[in-house]
């Protein structure tokens, strides 16, 4: 028996807006095959995702929105209503069977939640999840249904547990924040690139919740071009303070890997070193405060060849208390995918850094991030 489950099915690859859209779930297959070629993931670890029911989607989403997504996926939603539901943009265009394929993503996260909360396993991951921009009645930022928000409400409704949501995607998790902005039973922590230059433009330090939920939203906006040392310093100290203060029953984490300097959609300057450490930090918090109960899901990450598979492998390594392999990337994996990749696939677990750009004002950026950290730490003294 294994104490960790990996949620996966190739059916998840059908969540695809178009062949030219940057959100490409091929990265799931690349990561899964890399782990299997390493011999650290087997069929015994894998649970297939189920499809979320309409009732489960309605824990967060409005019924008319769900019906609109069903119609859009069958080509029967009038184009005049596309904008109303967020389907008129290049970010979230209509695609065939979009309801069924989006509900499968949500169901995958709920499968992971049930595996952990029922006691079947201590922790689980579903790298196909992490669609944190979806709103109650509108698609946004590559996200149709918000599996993170549905999972949090599902945990509250079915298991009556306190949830700490940790979001380390480069983009602010706006859909989750606004779903629970007045809810005192969810702690929402998001560390991200400042919205000054990056979608969705929210996630300011001053957004702290409202009403009974005031104080249960913590945003950590970092300056563009933040590097490893500053990122890890701010993340470790603030997330530990939040966790110690809130004392959650379970952690749900979004593991976007678009903070990497090679990501084409963002402006942070972190390397694989930081991406490798993040899931271990979250796992340590779960071990310390939640008897190990943690569900890790995916998120952003748009360099699917050189960044995502190696970074997401460390989510699985962390959950299984494994370290970065000393051996190179398996030749079998490289030979399987090199013909499809537009760039040479990596042969080791370290960044080459040949194209890493030093930022002249790094001291200024780090000082600004440090000030943000100290303002947050003041809240939890």
The sign of the CA dihedral 176, 256, 264, 27 is negative
155, two tokens: 């945990």
User: For helices 63-73 and 98-117, what crossing angle results, to 10°?
Assistant: 130
- Please tell me the distance from the alpha carbon of residue 259 to that of residue 124, in angstroms, as a whole number: 23
Contacts of 20 (CB under 8 A, 6+ apart): none
Q: What is the CA radius of gyration of the chain?
A: 19
Q: Where are the alpha helices (DSSP H) in the chain?
A: 26-38, 54-57, 63-73, 98-117, 147-154, 174-179, 228-246, 272-289, 308-319, 331-337, 362-379
- Please tell me the distance from the alpha carbon of residue 381 to that of residue 376, in angstroms, as a whole number: 9
Residue 132 is a catalytic residue:
no
Q: Are 230 and 222 in contact (CB under 8 A)?
A: yes
Closest Cα to residue 28, out of 146, 108, 121, 120? 108
Q: Contacts by 236-239 with C-beta closer than 8 Å and gap 24+?
A: 236/281, 237/373, 237/377, 238/189, 238/191, 238/373, 238/376, 238/377, 239/166, 239/189, 239/191, 239/281, 239/282, 239/285
CA-based end-to-end distance of the chain: 42
Closest Cα to residue 86, out of 98, 104, 97? 98
Residue 338: count other Cβ atoms within 10 Å of its Cβ: 12
Only one residue has tokens 């300057």, namely 269
Cis peptide before 200 (omega within 30 of 0): yes
Catalytic residue among 133, 172, 192, 314: 133
> What residues are annotated to the active site?
133
């Amino acid at each position: 028996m294994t104490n960790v489950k990996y949620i996966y099915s190739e059916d998840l690859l059908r969540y695809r807006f178009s062949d030219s859209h940057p959100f490409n779930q091929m990265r799931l297959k690349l990561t899964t095959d890399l782990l299997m070629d390493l011999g650290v993931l087997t069929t015994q670890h894998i649970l297939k995702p189920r499809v979320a029911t309409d009732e489960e989607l309605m824990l967060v989403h409005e019924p008319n929105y769900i019906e609109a997504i069903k119609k859009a996926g069958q080509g029967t939603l009038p184009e005049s209503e596309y904008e109303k539901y967020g389907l008129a943009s290049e970010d979230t265009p209509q695609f065939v069977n979009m309801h069924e394929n989006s509900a499968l993503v949500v169901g995958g996260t709920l499968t992971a939640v049930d595996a952990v909360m029922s006691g079947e396993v201590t922790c689980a991951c579903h790298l196909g999840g992490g669609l944190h921009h979806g709103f109650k009645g509108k698609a946004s930022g590559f996200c149709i249904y918000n599996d993170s928000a549905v999972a949090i409400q599902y945990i509250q409704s079915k298991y009556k547990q306190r949830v700490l949501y940790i979001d380390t995607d480069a983009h602010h998790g706006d859909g989750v924040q606004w779903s629970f902005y007045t809810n005192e039973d969810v702690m929402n922590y998001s560390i991200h690139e400042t919205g000054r230059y990056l979608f969705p433009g929210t996630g300011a330090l001053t957004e702290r919740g409202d009403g009974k939920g005031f104080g249960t939203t913590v945003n950590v906006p970092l300056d563009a071009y933040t590097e490893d040392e500053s990122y890890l310093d701010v993340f470790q100290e603030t997330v530990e303070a939040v966790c110690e203060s809130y004392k959650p029953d379970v952690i749900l984490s979004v593991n976007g890997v678009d903070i990497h300097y090679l990501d084409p959609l963002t402006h942070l300057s972190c390397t694989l070193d930081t991406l490798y450490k993040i899931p271990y930090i979250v796992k340590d918090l779960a071990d310390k405060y939640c008897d190990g109960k943690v569900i890790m899901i995916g998120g952003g990450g748009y360099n699917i060849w050189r960044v995502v598979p190696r970074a997401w492998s460390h989510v699985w390594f962390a959950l299984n208390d494994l370290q970065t392999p000393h051996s190179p990337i398996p030749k079998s994996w490289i030979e399987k995918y090199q013909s499809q990749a537009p760039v040479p696939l990596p042969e080791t677990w370290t960044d080459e850094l040949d194209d890493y750009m030093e930022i002249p004002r790094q001291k200024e950026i780090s000082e600004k991030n440090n000030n943000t950290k100290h303002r947050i730490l003041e809240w939890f003294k």
